[in-house]
Amino acid sequence: MNTHLFASKMASIPSVSQSQLFLKKPQFISSPTTCLFIKPSQSLNLSVSRSKKLVVVAAAGAGTAAAEEKSKKRYPGEGKGFVEEMRFVAMKLHTKDQAKEGEKEAQEKPLPKWEPTIDGYLKFLVDSKLVYDTLEKIVRKADFPEYAEFRNTGLERAESLAKDLAWLKEQGYSIPEPSSPGRSYSAYVEELSKKDPQAFICHFYNTYFAHSAGGRMIGKKVAEKILNGKELEFYKWDGDLSQLLQNVRNKLNVVAENWSREEKNHCLEETEKSFKFSGEILRLILS
Ligand code: HEM
């Protein structure tokens, strides 16, 4: 990837707006009263899913099989597990330049030059650490029991960031206090985690998985430009990263099996916020 391309990647982060992703899809309207009208013989496939959506489809009577087939196809990735659904939504929020599956339009306004600064990168690392500290504290505390599944996954980043910041300090850099993008994101996920587990899990997934993909590419580019190629601990994992990621995917899929379709959609809809907050932190690199 050349530096110009990379500049466009960074520059395109700010204006993510993909809520229409969900609006484009056909909407099923369900209410508890609809369910009262289902004859036992019509309540098909409740063993497959007890979501209101399927119940409503069953209540439609004629054409049920076709309608149900159609409804099954509504959620890309659904067949492979919920992580694939989250990934699908996330990939669409990238631009084509960022990832080949991206669909978001790149910004038309002039691109800032891809010139990471050491001050900006220090801010990025400090704010990232605050976010990982918060995520890791949340799963340790586990206000909702399912969070406990995500303790000690091997993906944790707070400790490695602490080592990097200590190393940078030794090199003579002064380490800033967390700035507004990191503080806002950290406060947001902390609040969310207490009341909205589906939305919280969306941030958890996106933060750790984005870092393992695009985050690593960015780290490499920055290191080449301003750190003489030094690879920070932030970009190293103990053990095989793809296996660690797979273990977490499996756990996320199991947790989401207990969610209704509405809860799953709620989680998917949070992806856009995750991009917005993370995008603001990423942009610190160029500040
Ligand atoms: C400059 C910014 C970014 C770049 C260049 C970038 C690039 C990429 C690339 C190349 C992939 C791998 C695609 C593949 O599997 O073929 C990826 C995956 C992904 N990205 Fe990004 N990305 C960026 C920002 C973000 C942000 C802000 C988020 C969300 C907070 C995000 C979330 C994800 C997720 C969830 C995946 C899927 C990872 C997986 O399946 O293991 N990315 N990104």
Which of 209, 216, 222, 237 gets mutated to test ligand 1 (max ligand atoms within 8 A of its CB)?
209
Whichever domain contains 190, its CATH number is: 1.20.910.10
At 104, give phi and psi (nearest 5°): -70, 140
For residues 123 and 239, state if they share a domain: yes
More confident residue, 52 or 121: 121
Is 221 near ligand 1, meaning CB less than 6 Å away? no
Amino acid at 286: L
Among 54, 73, 92, give the residue marking a domain's end. 73
For residues 162 and 280, state if they share a domain: yes
271 Cα to the center of ligand 1, angstroms: 12
For residues 155 and 196, state if they share a domain: yes
Is 161 near ligand 1, meaning CB less than 6 Å away? no
Q: For 20-46, what is the mean pLDDT?
A: 27
For residues 55 and 18, state if they share a domain: no
Q: For 200-216, what is the mean pLDDT?
A: 98
Residue whose CA is at the smallest distance from ligand 1 atom 15: 213
Confirm if 185 and 283 have CB atoms less than 8 A apart: no
For residues 55 and 159, state if they share a domain: no
For residues 181 and 213, state if they share a domain: yes
pLDDT for position 48:
29
For residues 50 and 165, state if they share a domain: no
Q: pTM to 2 decimals?
A: 0.80
pLDDT digits (tens, 9 = 90+) for 217-247: 999 999 999 999 999 999 999 999 999 999 9
Model confidence band, residue 54 (pLDDT cutoffs 50, 70, 90)? very low
Number of domains making up the chain:
2
- Helices 261-269/197-210 angle, 10° precision: 50
213 Cα to the center of ligand 1, angstroms: 5
Is 128 near ligand 1, meaning CB less than 6 Å away? no
Residue 145: is its pLDDT beyond 60?
yes
Domain that includes residue 49, residue range: 26-73
For residues 98 and 40, state if they share a domain: no
pLDDT for position 49:
34
For residues 198 and 276, state if they share a domain: yes
For residues 33 and 170, state if they share a domain: no
Residue 25: is its pLDDT beyond 90?
no
CA–CA dist 202, 198 (Å, integer) = 7
Q: Which of 2-11, 37-46, 253-262 has the lowest mean pLDDT?
A: 37-46
For residues 121 and 60, state if they share a domain: no
Confirm if 233 and 163 have CB atoms less than 8 A apart: yes
Is 213 near ligand 1, meaning CB less than 6 Å away? yes
Is 90 near ligand 1, meaning CB less than 6 Å away? yes
Is 94 near ligand 1, meaning CB less than 6 Å away? yes
Please provide the DSSP assignment of the chain as one string.
--HHHHHHHHHTSTT---THHHHTSPPPP--HHHHHT--GGG-TTTTT---HHHHHHHHT-TTHHHHHHHHHTTSTTGGG-HHHHHHHHHHHTSBTTT-TT--BPPP-SPPPP----HHHHHHHHHHHHHHHHHHHHHHHH-SSGGGGGGSS-S---HHHHHHHHHHHHHTTPPPPPP-HHHHHHHHHHHHHHHH-HHHHHHHHHHHHHHIIIIIHHHHHHHHHHHSTTPPPGGG--SS-HHHHHHHHHHHHHHHHHTS-HHHHHHHHHTHHHHHHHHHHHHHGGG-
Confirm if 278 and 16 have CB atoms less than 8 A apart: no
Question: 214, 231, 219, 201: which is closest to 124 by C-alpha?
Answer: 219
Residue 19: is its pLDDT beyond 50?
no
CA–CA dist 107, 217 (Å, integer) = 21
For residues 196 and 216, state if they share a domain: yes
